[in-house]
A and B are shown apart, each in its own frame.
Chain A
Amino acid sequence: MDRRIVITGVGVFSPVGIGFDAYSQALLAGTSGIRPVARFQTGEFPGRASAEVPAFKTRDYVPEEHKKAIKVMSWDVQLGVVAAMSAVVDAKIIPSLSLGKAAEAGAVPSSAQRVPPTRLGVSFGCGNIASDPGELSTAYSLIIRDGHVDYKAAGTELMKGLTPLWLLKYLPNMPACHVSIFIDAQGPNNSLTTGDAASLEAIGEAYRVMNRGWSDVMVCGGVDAKVNVLSLVRCQLLGWSTVKDGAPETLARPFEKSRSGFVVGEGAGSIVLEGLEHALARGATIYGEVFGFGGGCDARGLNGVDPDGRGVRNAMKNALRDAKMAPSNVDAIFANASGLVEGDRAEARAIARIFGAGPKAPPVTATRSMIGQTSSAGGILDALAALAAIKAGTLPPTLNYDVPDPECPVNVVKPGASAAKKLDRILINNGGFGGQFASLVVGRYHG
């Protein structure tokens, strides 16, 4: 159980930038990725802001011999695949892996050390993928009669109107499947679908798989892309996304008094986990170390968050126990807070209960103020943000924290605040609807 696990590759596709360097710079500078919805027309729909990933070419991140597979990838699957493949290239674990010139790290030399396929696994978090309505609309227009489905027509028209592999575009295990095929990863392969907790749980599981000696290298992370009609409507109907008007970049206000919900975002991130000795033996670049993971649950079904945040509190407690750390060992917290009135308050209470309130409590920051609520990708995007912060020795700010909410007793990092005294170990929280929460402790690697 005491095997040390380090992070040796990173890949990120976020609303504030593609690639770890761009992402780090944007976050640390307090850049907002929230803008008016650009992907499609929204008509009279009240939530008109979102955080979208800038354009890229998927084929630049897929090995030449597998380019045909892109046709069976939904947008979510593509995002997950490009993030994971970027991390794989960055980690240099697959010799002669050559992606397009746009892929940030370029080609891997043929002299790189190949991880044995059965010792290489994938663990990814993924959201419930919404099907593309444009693809379905022709067939659907032929099967609707007087506002009702004509089932006799449906069987025939759907068979004619959709492609043979249509279903595969939308299965949440597909990012991990495609990646396993591209890099011949025959080790454990899982896809976590626990809503907002999914990608931290995927990292946590990869960490456990390695701890029990089942693999030497795990590609992990997560993806979610809820900037689509169905998901935007769901978030609106559930009262989660803000309907406020105003400049888009001011709409996401975690922990702030006037917060009124989150802004829907999208993104994907990936890290490569590797046993320390394995990484040292091949001279890998080490971005950080994973110290502990824990989960917890509100146990309230779908009835909203526990007011005292017991799910996230249990997750934090379990992560600290796993990391064999006292709360005072944590230098900063990347909060789950997305701007939900009750959710932010519950998490703040849980943090205060473990870490104390007042000036001595660790600084807390909420990247959702910049990248929106990225759900199943939120945990991995924060893990990457934490690595960026550790490298730079400074924390990304929480935007729009104008009037502190006294009911959220945490030390929120404002733009322009002075750097934390020491930034070695960061705790990350993620979770949400359904009450499932996860926490991860990552930190600076000290030899």
Chain B
Amino acid sequence: MPAPQDMSKRRVVITGMGCATPLGVGVSELWENCMAGRCAVDTVRRFDADTWPAHIGAEVPTSPGMNGCRTWLDLDAVRAKHPGAKEAGVNVLYAITAGVEAWKQSGLAPGAYDPERTGVYLGAGEGIPDFENFVASVASGYQDGRFTEPPVFKSYMNRLNAMRELEQEPNAPGAHLAEMFNAQGINCDCLTACAASSQGLGEALEIIRVGDADVMISGGAHSMLHPMGLTGFCLLTALSKRNDEPKRASRPFDNQRNGFLLGEGASILILEELDHAKKRGAKILAELIGYGSSCDAFRLTDSHDTGRGAIQCMTYALRDAGIEPTEVDYINAHGTSTKVNDRIETLAAKKVFGDYAPKLPMSSTKSMTGHLIAAAGATEMVICVKAIETGMIPPTINQEEPDPDCDLDYVPNVARRHAVRTAMSNSFGFGGQNISLIARRLEA
């Protein structure tokens, strides 16, 4: 268990945020749509997914009107503007888009920061495979009931594009962001499934706290909305098969929930040491005050029955922040809409927050955005910061039939006015990694 907060620690603030999510490209539309309780889930359009058992998901809008959004991302325009990313896949393009927005908001410009003390720590996932060429090549190795490698070697050599392959590496988004903003300091990527970008933010926070950097570009980017990603999650029976009612499919904590909805996207946050931000007169969006990390060490796909991992990471984050549980005004839940997660997360929140738990609003914005996997945590931290900034809490939509095991205040269906000084964001990864982060309004 971490020691109580060390007051000598350097303080870390958020000075920029950007995103490319299924609910909007740019923080302002993401937030508007969260406030309006809109849902981005629809039939998968990237490829013809009709025969997959679950074929609904939340894609980033890449054409006018998609998901009812007014913003949309012109992928070709991003590629044209960033010639170094000509062969980049959507995960990289989302990261670049989110990064540009975040950096612009931070106001960091050459001369205002030391490139060698500026780093990157993302929780970014691998890119989308070159599926057509991959399938054709692998299939070429299968003849008369036998598989041999030489035809696959030959087919890959003829068909694959070297840079398109390289762009699929999980460290590619971080490499691009480092180039765009001339960040020559430490550069990490972690990929702890659904906890990744929260873990990235937590470790970036620590890197600044101990003085190894003054500015960290952090967050995540991921898309598993591709044939093999959808196949993998369908096989695990983790996804909702409510194909006929996509907008009602993601329903965290509701009794009729039956799985999560695959989303995609990127969110990038600029973390900065407090005095560094103050000195240059930056607008400070919030302070990142707490980080807790634990592992269930139980099963590859299930949380421990007692919620011990979730309890630990929330407890550690509170201790790291040096605050009482009652000081938390809002929790953005991991809330995936699976039977197990939502029940265990509720149980854990009750354990950590005790009598205060029923009074503490805890919503899952995955009901609207779908599950952005590695990019989920960073997106939800953006939402927490907006809640602090605006005094509004986004709802959990699709609350129709209460689950007796999920009896907390999930802010059902409608956004709510509520003063939020301190917000917690939970992210629990497949495989057992649990992260909690706490952000607070900076008060002088």
**Residues in A lying within 8 Å of B, measured CB to CB:** 1, 40-45, 69, 72, 117-118, 121-122, 126, 128, 131, 133-134, 136-138, 140-141, 143-144, 147-149, 151-156, 158-159, 162-168, 170-174, 176-178, 180-181, 183-195, 197, 201, 205, 208-209, 211-214, 229-230, 232-234, 236-239, 294-303, 310-311, 314-315, 318, 322, 433-436, 438
CB < 8 Å: which of B49, B131, B233, B299 contacts A167?
A: B233
Inter-chain contact B84/A434, CB cutoff 8 Å = no
Map CB proximity to A onto B140-181 as digits: 1 under 8 Å, 0 otherwise: 011000011111111011001111011111111011101110
Given contacts A43-B151, A118-B312, A133-B152, contact A159 B231 (CB under 8 A): yes
Inter-chain contact A318/B212, CB cutoff 8 Å = yes
Least Cβ distance of A235 to chain B in Å? 10
CB < 8 Å: which of B170, B232, B237 contacts A193?
A: B170
Given contacts A167-B236, A168-B300, A297-B185, contact A137 B191 (CB under 8 A): no
Inter-chain contact B312/A234, CB cutoff 8 Å = no
How far is B191's CA from A189's CA once the two chains are assembled, in angstroms? 11
Q: Name which of A117, A211, A295, A435 has the most chain B CB atoms within 10 A of its CB.
A: A295
Inter-chain contact A118/B1, CB cutoff 8 Å = yes
Inter-chain contact B184/A296, CB cutoff 8 Å = yes
Given contacts A133-B149, A155-B52, contact A434 B157 (CB under 8 A): no
Q: Using a Cβ–Cβ cut-off of 8 Å, how many residues does chain B contribute to the interface with A?
A: 99
Inter-chain contact A165/B236, CB cutoff 8 Å = yes
Given contacts A42-B150, A42-B153, A295-B185, contact A302 B172 (CB under 8 A): yes
Inter-chain contact B188/A310, CB cutoff 8 Å = no
**Residues in B lying within 8 Å of A, measured CB to CB:** 1-3, 47-53, 55, 84-85, 115-116, 119-120, 126, 131-132, 135-136, 138-139, 141-142, 147-154, 156-157, 160-163, 165-172, 174-176, 178-180, 182-193, 199, 203, 206-207, 210, 212, 227-228, 231-237, 293-301, 308-309, 312, 316, 429-433
How far is B227's CA from A163's CA once the two chains are assembled, in angstroms? 16
Given contacts A189-B293, A434-B174, contact A43 B308 (CB under 8 A): no
Given contacts A194-B187, A434-B175, contact A44 B193 (CB under 8 A): no
Inter-chain contact A162/B235, CB cutoff 8 Å = yes
CB < 8 Å: which of A133, A172, A184 contacts B138?
A: A133
Q: Name which of B126, B188, B308 has the most chain A CB atoms within 10 A of its CB.
A: B188
Inter-chain contact B116/A314, CB cutoff 8 Å = yes
CB < 8 Å: which of B2, B161, B168, B188 contacts A295?
A: B188
Inter-chain contact A140/B119, CB cutoff 8 Å = no
Inter-chain contact A173/B171, CB cutoff 8 Å = no
| Chain B residues with CB below 8 A from A167, complex form | 231-233, 235-236
Least Cβ distance of A178 to chain B in Å? 8
| Chain B residues with CB below 8 A from A154, complex form | 51-52, 227
Q: Which residue of A lies closest to B293 (CB)?
A: A188
Q: Which residue of B lies closest to A230 (CB)?
A: B156
Q: Which residue of B lies closest to A46 (CB)?
A: B157
Least Cβ distance of B204 to chain A in Å? 11
Inter-chain contact B189/A300, CB cutoff 8 Å = no
